[in-house]
Structure 1
């Protein structure tokens, strides 16, 4: 008699999302295994799971053999990874074949190659939003504060900038202030972007407060992994550095701890716009 319990392996990066996904998957009846990657950000406070193993990021063949051996039926990608150089990956033979499929080694091309590879090997891909109710940001103004007319123009500028940059596979976030793009998210992540642009804002000789974080998914990216994510720490960073608010993309942005995010926005008079 075959075991009908679905078995999920989470390929986990850093942050709280893999933790929330593991807990929700177990509550939904999955047996959960977790794979992390050496030298990469690690998930925070992971609950007890069936197994946890770590592999070098480039050892794709070893990862594949491992998840086949434990009977995995479903795979999810969750959490953030640092972007390594090709040389530092030291890929095995299977990893080299996977890299060859992504002729343009941009994030989106690599993600599509990885997700396609997993599906071709018989695994069903699921996402955090499949298992965590209300994970994606709903549309609307979610805070008491709201952007001014000038700030709405800034948001429009940031949206159009990210749309162009997304086609080049550059970043999911930018900071806009008084009609100028102060910075675009690179490999350093959103928190560092927020801090970095505080300096640029002050350098313009203007107020040391203000500015908007705008985050959106790239138009052509897969929704199976790497959707833009914000959480309570994002709002704490914005408040600490004197920003005015944040605009995110409705239904394509992961809003971790939604109620806490809204409470923090209201506490610090930040606007939270999802559109």
Structure 2
């Protein structure tokens, strides 16, 4: 194996996929696993690992130094609601937390990345070995959007762009020109359920990166769970920014969407601000 790469892992399959891809490129994966978030399989897949509680920044830095890590990535989800009731920072973590005046996603992650880089650990893009997972452009299932649904996608796109600019979230739920839900700290699935319940049926979900999104962390991601959640509230459309978000389990996701009669489309925006489907 060549030089090690650090992995700060949250939940979901992204850390496992990254580990496999990095090892295929002869990188030794040094994984930091978060209690109550990271899948236990990662402990066995990574070359070496340790478990931390949310906020134990000092422990992460010491572990990386011990393993000779000079490059690291953030992969996977952290349940954001835990930051107010289940965070147990060590001294370095608490010191950093108290310096962050805006407890928003990008502000927190940039502060942690800055602390790591101050310790000689460069934070790389989380997709550095997984570019093939970017969401494709166009309709990726059997079902095509109606003109009414296209109108809702265009409407919701503008709303999603604004909440992203404010670093609130990456997803909105709309129907017939009305905003039903805006993703905040609760996450995409909870926002879909809330908006879908208000809609009754036919909800249109738009998910996209924030303007100026830092590709080192917190990229939008969708998969079969997203479709299952949308199907549970009889939603009709999932529109995702192509090439700027991640798609997991593509074939299974398309099959689930087709069974539920859900439109899945990757959308691009040209220089003039027009959407390309």
**TM-score, normalized by length of structure 1?**
0.87
* Partners of 1:251 and 1:116 in 2: CA distance: 26
Deviations 1:14-57 (A, max 9, x none): 1111111111111121111221223x422364352222211122
Find the counterpart in structure 2 of residue 19 from structure 1: 16
Per-residue CA deviations over 1:221-274 (Å, capped at 9, x if unaligned) read 311100111011212222333211200111111111223222332333321111
Q: Is the 1:43–1:79 contact (alpha carbons within 8 Å) kept by the matching residues of 2?
A: no
Q: Aligned pairs, how many?
A: 265
Q: Which residue of 1 aligns with 2:39?
A: 43
Displacement of 1:90: 4.3
- Rounded to whole Å, the distance in 2 between the matches of 1:69 and 1:193 is 41
Quote the offset at 1:86 in angstroms: 5.8
Whether the aligned pair in 2 keeps the contact of 1:247 and 1:274 (CA below 8 Å) is yes
Closer/same/farther in 2, CA of residues 220 and 97 from structure 1, 3 Å limit = farther
**Would the alpha carbon gap of residues 104 and 195 (structure 1) be closer, same or farther in structure 2, given more than 3 Å must change?**
closer
Distance 1:192 1:104, change over 3 A: closer
Are 2:70 and 1:78 equivalent residues in the alignment?
Answer: no
Deviation per residue, 1:42-77 (Å, 9 max, x gap): 236435222221112222112101111011132111
Distance in 2 between residues matched to 1:266 and 1:87, nearest whole Å: 39
Equivalent in the alignment of 2:259: 267
Task: Check whether the contact 2:173–2:180 (CA below 8 A) recurs between aligned residues.
Answer: yes
- Whole-Å Cα distance in 2 between the matches of residues 235 and 44 of structure 1? 25
In the alignment, which residue of structure 1 is the partner of 2:214? Answer: 222
Distance in structure 2 (CA, Å) of the matches to 1:274 and 1:215: 10
Alpha carbons of 1:273 and 1:76: their partners in 2 closer, same or farther (altered >3 Å)? same
Report deviation, 1:133: 4.1
2:240 pairs, out of 248, 254, 264, with 248
The TM-score normalised by the length of structure 2 is 0.87
CA RMSD of aligned residues (A): 2.1
Q: Aligned partners of 2:134 and 2:157: how far apart in 1? A: 19
